[in-house]
Chain A
Amino acid sequence: MTDAAATAGSSAAANAASAQPEHMAWDSRARRMVMLWLPLACFVLILLFPFYWMTVTAFKPDAELYDFRAHNPFWISSPTLNHIHKLLFETAYPKWLMTTMLVAVCSTFLSLLSSTLAAYAIQRLRFKGSQYVGLAIYLAYLVPPSIQFIPLAAMVHQLGLFDTPFALILTYPTFLIPFCTWLLIGYFKSIPYELEECALIDGATRLQILRQITLPLAVPGLISAGIFSFTLSWNEFIYALAFIQSSENKTVPVAILTELVTGDVYQWGALMAGSLLGSLPVAIFYSFFVDYYVSSMTGAVKE
């Protein structure tokens, strides 16, 4: 009896507490501040600080860069474009950007084409063992480039592709195709099969169905896969480092690290300007399609 009364009392108190939010308002606001906004602000600050520092360094004159006592390092007193000017007109930076763009676009196109066909075959033209092909392609994604670059370097030498963009265009799809295929399988799965059945009854061929029904419906998936492939191939480093030797054929990440770092005195201004300019295309591209990007990343994880 007393037990029941006690529980009744406590539940009444809980009800009162939840029924009177204005009484708790300040408390919960302070609590929310400490538990939510403060950690979130710390996270955002730490995650963004390197970019801020990169930007600040890129626009600082050398005198400010190496004198923290006279100038507040967190701010630029006299911004300069010297580093960027030097980068664009005294190094082969524009050429590196073009090479990177060419490689990224070609390998994205190649892997998008082949993975669309593969995903269609696996998901829609169901055949015996199609799920095993899908599993094998998924497993291919788990093979990291770090264990592949040595045999690939030997192959690239033998095929005579060493030091050409083709070495990169042909090898990047190895890590792009598994991801794109997996993503597109998930997308095709979400398109109702009845649509294709109707088309089949109306006498459409399989290729017509793919071109006129499935692909238009899978455009968001294609965009996601394309963005993902583009950023991945823009960021790729180890193959580009191993297969490219001559300065003018290098991609941006490799070139900054191997061409701009000269001697013992690092040109931090130019290095940061190069990093900033090299990050911008991806960042801009990403900001236009951020929702596709997030959905592709999380979709692939959930599959």
Chain B
Amino acid sequence: MSATTAADWLKTRRDPSWIARLFDYKPLLIVLCLLPAVGLLMTFLTYPLGLGIFLAFTDTTIGRRGVWVGLENFEYLLSDPLWWNAVFYSVFYTAVATVLKFGLGLWLALLLNQHLPFKSLLRAIILLPWIVPTVLSAIAFWWIYDPQFSIISYVFVEVLGWRTTNIDFIGSAWPARWSLIAANVWRGIPFVAISLLAGLQTISPSLYEAALLDGSSAWQRFRFITFPMLLPILAIVMTFSIIFTFSDFQLVYAITRGGPVNSTHLLATLAFQRGIPGGQLGEGAAIAVSMIPFLVFATLFSYFALARRKWQQGEGND
């Protein structure tokens, strides 16, 4: 009796085939698992990054291999008022939009962090601008900014009677710049608010209770508890936001295409205009490469924020 059960037990324990053993060999398994991701990223991310930097030093056009021209593209850009204009507007756009997005986003997050009915529904509604394809909401903004049939103009002129003429949203340089920033802020607030809300929810209520017992004011609780505890997440969200605002393309391309008179070109739209329809791949690549220093700066910012968090939590805690 016992012998047969032992035999049965042994029988089910068949030797793994050589192929199963091969796939259980750890180094091979690691290579196989990493291969698709690393392969795709190497081919379509790292290589193009290098290729882009190489192209920036050549005069390649679409369909023709370029020759090495050294720093000629960059010298040309430095003397190009359009490039300087794009650098100015990219920095301005990023700075103003980031400040507004984080100010309003933090406010919205603080509002949502209170006890509310229908909280998850509210959260779902608020995220909507971020879910919908940017270009499609940008087209809606384009229609809202229409010179003749703008609904905002209608409200100001016909309903409120504050103005006598329609507002010229995207017809001249500065209004167009501010209109684009408004659209970007509109789209960015939900992401900032929901990310910061997640950060707020991780702060332990006992800290606030202790502060209340010590007689702190609402501002003190925000300044000395909420803000410092939120800082690590704030830094990361801000890095992402800065990078993707600085390299923004869709909004500007959809609403103004860099106009009027090239006043709202960001570096990305300028690079596109020169590189793809213009066919000057080398010059476009040079413009794109000139964005890298700014992006590296933002990434370093993130890195040091992360390092700071580790230091706060104590060593070996992550």
Contact = CB atoms under 8 A, between A and B. Distances in A.
Given A271-B139, A297-B195, A238 B272 contact: yes
B184 interface: no
Contacts of B137: 50-51, 275, 279
B6 interface: no
A257 B52 contact: no
Interface residues of B, number: 103
B26 A206 contact: yes
18 contacts: A36-B111, A36-B116, A39-B111, A47-B186, A121-B34, A144-B246, A146-B249, A151-B52, A171-B44, A231-B131, A235-B134, A253-B136, A257-B253, A275-B136, A283-B128, A286-B127, A293-B127, A302-B233
Given A256-B139, A282-B133, A302-B202, A147 B292 contact: yes
A77 to B, nearest CB: 16
Interface string B28-63: 011011101110110011111101100100001011
A253 B133 contact: yes
Contacts of A279: 132-133, 136-137
Contact of A118 (B38, B158, B197): B38
Contacts, number: 293
Interface of B: 13, 16, 20, 23-24, 26-27, 29-30, 32-34, 36-38, 40-41, 44-49, 51-52, 55, 60, 62-63, 104, 107-108, 111-112, 114, 116, 120, 122-129, 131-137, 139-141, 143-144, 146, 149, 151, 154, 158, 186, 189-191, 194-195, 197-199, 202, 233, 236-237, 239-240, 243-244, 246-250, 253-254, 267-268, 271-272, 275-276, 281, 284-285, 288-289, 291-292, 295, 298-299, 302
B304 to A, nearest CB: 14
A140 B41 contact: yes
Contacts of A283: 128, 131-132
Chain B interface, >50% SS class: helix
A150 B55 contact: yes
A53 interface: yes
Interface of A: 36, 39-40, 43-44, 46-48, 50-51, 53-54, 57, 65-66, 68-69, 73-74, 110-111, 113-115, 117-118, 120-122, 125, 127, 133, 137, 139-140, 142-155, 157, 170-171, 173-174, 177-178, 181, 203, 205-207, 231, 234-235, 237-238, 241-242, 252-254, 256-257, 268, 271-272, 274-275, 278-279, 282-283, 286-287, 290-291, 293-294, 297-298, 301-302
A302 B48 contact: no
Contacts of A293: 127, 131
A257 B37 contact: no
Contacts of A51: 128, 132, 137, 140
Question: Most B CB atoms within 10 A — which of A140, A157, A291?
Answer: A140
